[in-house]
Amino acid sequence: MSDPIVLEWTPLNAYRRRLVFEPREIGGWHRTEEERRDEEWHVVDHEVVTHVELDRSGPDGPSGVTTYRGP
């Protein structure tokens, strides 16, 4: 089983947020969006997704792409 994928960010004038993709034993992923309030993470949305893909392009374009793919 794969490790979770976590992406965190802070919007301008808003609470810190994160997306967490956790692999499911029967396939796919649990996608959870959370917001940090009062020093705790609170779920604001969640769903099951079938595929996760994260691309990170380098400064010179696609030549430096790192791709993470889920089942």
Query: Whole-model pTM?
Result: 0.76
Domain hosting 65: range is: 5-69
Q: Is it the case that residue 70 has pLDDT exceeding 80?
A: no
Per-residue pLDDT tens digits for 6-65: 999 999 999 999 999 999 999 999 999 999 999 999 999 999 999 888 777 666 555 555
Contacts of 48 (CB under 8 A, 6+ apart): 24, 28, 29, 30, 31
Which amino acid type is present at position 20?
Answer: V
What is the model's pLDDT at position 2?
76
How many domains is the chain built from?
1
Single-letter amino acid code for the residue at 19 = L
Predicted local confidence at residue 71, as pLDDT: 54
Q: What is the Cβ-side half-sphere exposure of residue 32, based on CA atoms within 13 angstroms?
A: 14
